[in-house]
Amino acid sequence: MEAYSSELLIIAFAAMLAPFLAELPGNFRLPVVVLEVILGILIGPHVFHLASPDGLIGTLGGLGLTFLLFMVGLEINFDKIRGKPLSLAVGGWFLSFFLAMVCMLVFNTLGLIQTPPLLASVALSTTALGVIAPILRDRGELDSNLGKYLLATAAVGEFAPLVVISMLLIPTHSTFVHSLFTVTFIVIALVAANIALNARPSRLIEILSHTMQSSGQLPVRLCIFMQILFVALAAKFDVGIVMGAFAAGMVAGLAIKGTEGDLLRHKLDAIGYGFLIPIFFIVAGMKFEVSALWSAPLAPIQIVLLSCLLLLVRGVPSLLYKKELTPEEKIPFAFYSATGLPLIVIISEIGVSSGLMPQEKASILVSAGMLSVLLFPILAVKLRGKVTLP
């Protein structure tokens, strides 16, 4: 532990500094998550080398990722996004995936971007709900018309690529066995969701309410146990720990829906956004290889091209929202939808570990995702203008 004390201090300082910088007076403010990534780049081994994303630091970053996806699942309000928002989001994602496949096949044939088309297409069709949800929350837009459709789009942009990754890219068994494992995990999640919605014994509710304000904190511990349980089950069934954390958040969200769960949500917010989640974004910045920007003659062009493809494939579906969004909302909607990083990192790591993608190509893909996180939310906020907090 002593070996990491100074690095933990630096990371804790960066996590404290980011929201402080975000609140400085000025005409334009960077979102907190963007500042966390930038600070991570600066303190990481590729710039000032003040800390390294290995060992305990890397473990805390991994915990931050699972907690982020848990909170993302918790944030989704199915009562608000079901119906037209969800159907449009599903249709928009399939359109994005189709466009991404066509573009990647063309660019791969021309030799401009030599990356496995399926891997790149899945990565380009993602939306970082864990990045934009905190921004929407801080701006008071989660319950707005734009926020409602964005949450649905981002939820599908997280969930659909997870399913594709699980079914096609990371099976360690035969296709039939892996499909059986995936279906089994989904059934377990659905059973848990049904229990969360319907089975609420009064005695259990009384115990949970009683311990909420005591040192026992049973509801908080129960949520954390559920998260670890689903992550362990997902790993056991080879469907990816990311899907496990996401599913755990959705089940927990169904169980604590309503005003009675607000206090528990605040406590989970404090653990997640106050501790683990900032570490994930800072560690993600630390892993960013700045040298990838000039690793090859075409690398800068490829990074910019992939970033533009992100905006294209995730922005074009905004055309489906003719009546749902105003003209002023469509461009910010496109920029928010094109923001991606966590799943791009995961997909790149899968590609490298499986031998499907060289490390330098993975770095270029991650660089494009990092660029989207650094630029697209800023542009979306700037174009959206000032929003009055409730």
The pLDDT value recorded for residue 390 is: 41
Q: Please write the tens of the pLDDT for every residue from 217-256.
A: 888 999 999 999 999 988 887 777 777 888 899 888 888 8
Confidence of residue 201 (pLDDT cuts 50, 70, 90): low
The pLDDT value recorded for residue 260 is: 63
Name the residue with higher pLDDT: 200 or 142.
142
Q: Are 376 and 335 in contact (CB under 8 A)?
A: yes
| Domains of the chain listed by start with CATH number | 2-384 (1.20.1530.20)
Name the residue with higher pLDDT: 120 or 170.
120
Contacts of 257 (CB under 8 A, 6+ apart): 77, 79
Confidence of residue 168 (pLDDT cuts 50, 70, 90): low
Question: Pick from 369, 372, 350, 339: which is nearest to 162 by CA?
Answer: 350
Question: Pick from 99, 146, 88, 147: which is nearest to 121 by CA?
Answer: 99
Q: At what angle do helices 299-315 and 84-110 cross, to 10 degrees?
A: 150
- The CA distance from 275 to 382, in Å, is 28
Q: Please write the tens of the pLDDT for every residue from 16-48.
A: 999 999 888 776 667 788 888 889 999 999 899
Name the residue with higher pLDDT: 130 or 14.
14
Q: Write down the residue that tokens 């296709």 correspond to.
A: 175
Q: Is the pLDDT of residue 389 over 50?
A: no
Question: Which pair of tokens denotes residue 154?
Answer: 């981002």
Q: Write down the residue that tokens 């960077």 correspond to.
A: 30
* Residue 333 identity: F
- Percent of the chain at pLDDT > 70 equals 88
Contacts of 192 (CB under 8 A, 6+ apart): 226, 251
Give kind and range of the element (H or E) at residue 151: helix 145-164
Q: Are 342 and 68 in contact (CB under 8 A)?
A: yes
Residue-wise DSSP of 157-178: HHHHHHHHIIIIIS-SS-HHHH
Contacts of 128 (CB under 8 A, 6+ apart): 154, 158, 339, 340, 341, 342, 343, 373
The pLDDT value recorded for residue 282 is: 92
Q: Is the pLDDT of residue 179 over 70?
A: no
Q: Please write the tens of the pLDDT for every residue from 63-118.
A: 998 898 898 788 777 777 888 999 999 999 999 999 999 999 998 888 777 778 88
